[in-house]
Amino acid sequence: MSDIGTTATSGFDFSPAKIVEFIRKSDLGLAIGIMAILVVLILPLPTLLLDVALAFSLSFSILILMTAVFIRKPLEFSSFPTVLLITTMLRLALNLASTRLILGHGNEGTAASGYVIQAFGKLIMQGNFVIGLIVFAILIIVNFVVITKGSGRIAEVAARFSLDAMPGKQMAIDADLSAGLIDEKEAKLRRKTIEAESNFFGAMAVTRAALPLFRAQRFGAIVNISSMGGQMSFPGFSAYSASKFALEGASEALAQEMAPFGVKVLIVEPGAFRTELVGSAMREMPQIAAYADVVGPTRAFAHDMHQTQAGDPAKAAAAIEAAIEAKDTPLRLVLGSDAVDAIRAHAQRLLAELAGWEETARATAFDG
């Protein structure tokens, strides 16, 4: 026999504490917030909710500012680009909501659009219509600049965070491999992904961030560091050369697109220079016996060349600077005697192959 006052419940717990805990432990809170912003863009917002939303926006802005000021390393606030984008959307939604209330209910009094706006209006205008009109014009200009330039700034911040995160990603792979959380095959796959990100996607992210400024000022220079491996490939360097091929293809198209804006694009193709590329920055994958005769010599060459390269990085930097400052900047700048010889030999092979198959190539047109 059970007590009359006792009730048994089963299923989901919809208590406020459980709901808050569920939202904090999942992406549901972020999704709900974005949906709420979209709703505000479309539907009217009550005055009370607008006051709360404006207060939250101001508080959140101060919180972001204090967080950005006091972090010691960029990676401590790696979500900053996303937060910046969401807060921009929030302010745009609140601007529309407040404008809708002012235009629709402004005749009902200064409090019709909320007490927050009323307080700011009294503080800034001080009962003078001319002052209010001038401040309003300034705010319109500021909002226009923020909205039009915001996407470029967000892309710039995202690019910086993407590049700063590269060393951390590499160390994370090494740590997971040492701890036995992943095997050699998975580590190799992750390293190839990071290599593609750094060689191509990282360069494209930085370029994308710079293009709006270059178009506006109608001058500038973009230098993308490729390699002699961007013109040819070698056994064991398929992933590396694939990323460099992609970078060179994008840069070649970019050079034609940006020429009307007075922006130079330079592809640097260095050979072997005395850096840490084949030293501390190099990671060797496990050998596969079936490829020992093909990839083995390349592996040995890369391993033994460390600190014996003929290329001087300081002279390479001076050559790049001279090419950028030249009146006729080349599209490609080959650096190093080894790169010059290898690229010339490769180009000659391509021309010989083209000549040998030219008749077949030209015979593929429709008859008539």
pLDDT of residue 346: 95
Handedness of CA 186, 187, 190, 192 (dihedral sign): negative
pLDDT of residue 88: 80
pLDDT of residue 2: 42
Establish whether 115 is a catalytic residue. Answer: no
pLDDT of residue 212: 84
Marked catalytic residue, from 227, 241, 244, 251: 244
Establish whether 226 is a catalytic residue. Answer: yes
Per-residue pLDDT of the chain (368 residues; tens, 9 = 90+): 444 444 444 455 666 666 666 656 556 777 777 888 888 888 888 888 888 888 888 898 888 888 888 887 766 776 777 787 788 888 888 888 888 888 887 777 777 778 888 887 777 777 777 887 888 788 778 767 766 665 556 555 665 666 666 656 666 777 777 777 777 777 777 776 766 666 777 788 778 878 888 888 888 899 999 999 999 998 888 878 888 999 999 999 999 999 999 999 999 999 988 887 766 656 666 777 888 888 888 777 777 787 888 889 999 999 999 999 999 999 999 999 999 999 999 999 999 999 999 999 999 999 87
Give residue-wise pLDDT tens across range 43-84. 888 888 888 888 888 898 888 888 888 887 766 776 777 787
Marked catalytic residue, from 226, 241, 243, 251: 226
Marked catalytic residue, from 98, 113, 162, 240: 240
Residue extents of the structural domains in the chain: 218-355
pLDDT of residue 104: 81
368/363 Cα distance (integer angstroms): 12
Of 171, 221, 183, 205, the C-alpha closest to 331 is 221
Establish whether 315 is a catalytic residue. Answer: no
pLDDT of residue 157: 60
Give residue-wise pLDDT tens across range 133-162. 888 788 778 767 766 665 556 555 665 666
What's domain 218-355's superfamily in CATH? NAD(P)-binding Rossmann-like Domain (3.40.50.720)
Give residue-wise pLDDT tens across range 272-283. 888 877 666 566
Q: Show the 3-state SS of the chain.
A: CCCCCCCCCCCCCCCHHHHHHHHHCCCHHHHHHHHHHHHHHHCCCCHHHHHHHHHHHHHHHHHHHHHHHHCCCHHHHCCHHHHHHHHHHHHHHHHHHHHHHHHHHHHHCHHHHCHHHHHHHHHHHCCCHHHHHHHHHHHHHHHHHHHHHHHHHHHHHHHHHHHHHHHHHHHHHHHHHHHCCCCHHHHHHHHHHHHHHHHHHHHHHHHHHHHHHHHHHCCEEEEEECCHHHCCCCCCCHHHHHHHHHHHHHHHHHHHHHHHHCEEEEEEEECCECCCCCCCCCCCCCCCHHHHHHHHHHHHHHHHCCCCCCECHHHHHHHHHHHHHCCCCCCEEEECHHHHHHHHHHHHHHHHHHHHCHHHHHCCCCCC
